[in-house]
Structures are given as structure tokens and as C-alpha cells.
A = this chain, B = another copy of it.
Amino acid sequence: MENLIQPKILKGFRDFLPDAEIQRSLLTEKLTNVFRSFGFVPIDTPVLEYTEILLRKSDGETEKQVFRFEDNGGRDVAMRFDLTVPFARFVAEHKDELYFPFKRYHIAKVWRGEKPQAGRYREFVQCDFDSVGSDSAASDFEILLMMKTALAAIGVTDVTIKISHRGIFNRFLAKLGLKEKSEDILRTVDKLAKIGEEETARLLTEIAGDSAKAGDILKYIKGSDSFESTLALMEEMAGGEADDTKRMREIYAFMCEEGIQDSYKLDPSITRGLDYYTGVVYETFLNELPGIGSVCSGGRYDNLAGLYMKDRVPGVGSSIGLDRLIAGLEQLGKLDAKGSFIDAEIFCLDQSLTGHYMGIAKQLRQNGISCEVFPDAKKMGQQYTFAEKKNIKFGILVKPEDAKAGVLTLKNLKNRETFENITVAEAVEKIKNA
């Protein structure tokens, strides 16, 4: 006999058992429905791409994390680490086949060799939605509205969506004479929530070489009470009204018209670090668990596919980190423990009736009821346990004399309610109305 191989998976990777995968499927389906309801269409791209395509613009951190290798044909290839870079390549490659504004969603796995920790995995699912080809406040607002709508659709309402505008911040830094140092400053401001105000101030003073300027930056990123007063402060500190502040007012006007302005907080400390954003930017935090980081982030960029083509394609988009979100909801005890796609279990009381059981199953399925036939005449206790583990609501029992009479017993396995001697049609009604 061969030696057995220990069945195990790689660190940072996960199996999804049925309960977890049903949960993830239900969440994904709800998100998909929202994306579709806004006119977004799906695309797909390869998991493997030329490393040159994926990594050209990346920072060192990404490069260290990417799963990269030489394939059998000697090509330098890598597994995608996000859905944005492949999307940029996709838009450049297919621009003549697309229609703009091109609005796509893409729900798929990405891979990063990160240090595994709570809520962080080396293989995880991202849900991206982007609208490219329109530089309008309407598009900006649409993405913001979709973030709120999509999260609400999966029961996540206790969130704060923080928004800001990268262009206003850049203008402000230029006015301070710190344009050249903006990368370092962005990197530092991005860490505010993690390292605290004092440490941020110390680092900013070091970078700006001037504690007064550091103080200005702190004042700017702390903002004011309301959306309007914060915007006024940003505008003043950045040197007055411009297209960027006008854009923020337009977005705010859309929010007010829709009556959802309270769901968004203008927070000038949101910058999205070194990313390629140029306009509005946003991050979303679970109010009860802000420490896990943003669960839905994004912003506007003015040149999505600049690495691959000369045409400038502006766009705006957002990404839900589904696995991080699920980890957070689990931690908060806010996920339904068990879902089920199966309505009824037809128990096996008599093996010779299996064909009859299958006939009943067929009728149920024709009426839109999902059901299964237990294939072996195992002990009833075992069969009940099985149905319970699968979270199946109804049991159907048919004895030989029932089969002859064309009736069955329907049992609600949750509350033990039992209906004897009913027809399949009656069972259909009862299951549908349950």
C-alpha cells in the first residue's frame, strides 16, 4: 500500500465548506443583483497575465507579494493581485469593442502573498465596479450610491462611508509649497487612524521641515463638523473655489436630492495613499469594527489605462473586499449562521420505493421546489440528522401504503408541524407558503 499523503492546504488559503460557501454565494448574488440593477455588465479576465502587464506600475510591496513564476513556455507570468490592473489592460486592449461610459462589475479571486492574519488571506475575493469614460459628477455619485446600496443589500447598514477629494488635497499641498513631498505626506496621512494624531504630527513636521505647515496639514485633515463646513474649510485652505470643490458640491447636491447625505462623511484625511486617484476618494468602515480597515474603497482616476495606450480614459470605481467584510461580520456575529438552497428531503423509508420517491421529487422540482431523495434506507435518526445538518426545512415521508394511495406525509422539520395523507400538489402549496 502506498503511503498516505496528509491532506492539507497552503498557509493563507482556505477551503469553503457548504455553510460558508452558501453564505458567500448568497452575498455574491445579492451584490450582483445590485450591480446589474444599475446597468453594470460583467466581464472576466485571465487569472494569469504577463508579469510586465501586472507589475509595471506597482510599488515594491506588491512586487514582493505577487505569485510570480516562469511558465513552461519560458514566459514571466503572475497571478493577478487585484482586478484594477487587469481592467486597465482590458480597456486598452478592447477599447474599440466597448461602449462608453463602460460600466463593469467583476467579482473574482485575487492573490497576494501577505502575512496571513485575521481577515487577511492569500487568496480572496474582490467585488469591483467601475464606470469609465465619463468625467461627470453623476458618475461619481452613482458609484457612491451603489456602495451604500450594495452594502445595504447584504445587510451591512451600520457603516460610515468617508469621502474626500485628492485634487483639493493636492492643491492645498501645492499652496503650502509641499508639492514635491506629497507622496510622503499622503503616506503619512493615510496612517492617521493607525498611528494617532501625535505621531502623525511628528512625522509631518519631519517631512515638511516646519511645524507650522505640519499644523496646517493636521488642521486640514481634521476638517470641521458638517459636510458643508468641512468643504468650506478645505476650499479656503486650498486657495478658493475651483473645479474640484465645485465637483464636491455637485456630488453633495445629488446626495441631498436623494436624501442620503447623512450616510456619507466628508473626511479630508482620506487620501487612498499612493494610489492613482485624482478626484473623489472614499473608504468604508464598519462602525462597530473600524479596526479591520476599509471594506469598500475607491475613487476617481483621470487616466485608467495610461500604461497601455495614449487615449486618456477617466473613470471612477470602487471595490468591496468581500472576504474581509465577511470576516468582520462574523466577528460581530452578524451573519446568518446557516443558509440553505434546499427546501425538502424525501426520506428513504423503503428502498424499493426509490423510483416512486424520485417521481415525487420530479413533481416538486417542476414546481420550483428544490429537494433531494435520500438514496439509502438508513436509520431514520441518521436521515433526520442529515436533513438538519443541511438546514432543510421540510421532510417528506412515504410508506408503501401511502405510495399506493398516492399520498404522503409532510413534516416541517423546524417546528415539527405534520400534515398526513396529503397529495403532492398540497405539499407544494404548503412548502411554497411556508
Contact = CB atoms under 8 A, between A and B. Distances in A.
A64 B24 CA distance: 34
B56 A67 contact: no
Tell me the number of copies of this protein: 2
A25 B104 CA distance: 14
Contacts of A385: 99
B72 A15 contact: no
Contact of A371 (B11, B24, B37): B37
Contacts of A56: 5
A22 B44 CA distance: 10
A13 to B, nearest CB: 4
Nearest to A106: B21
A139 to B, nearest CB: 5
A75 B345 CA distance: 44
A104 B18 contact: yes
Given A99-B390, A101-B375, A142-B375, 9 more contacts: A8-B50, A18-B43, A41-B341, A41-B390, A48-B123, A69-B70, A73-B113, A101-B376, A138-B375
29 contacts: A4-B308, A4-B310, A5-B56, A7-B309, A9-B46, A9-B50, A10-B50, A11-B73, A14-B46, A15-B44, A15-B45, A15-B46, A15-B90, A21-B44, A22-B42, A36-B342, A38-B371, A38-B372, A39-B345, A40-B372, A47-B123, A48-B123, A67-B69, A69-B69, A100-B386, A138-B375, A254-B354, A254-B358, A257-B358
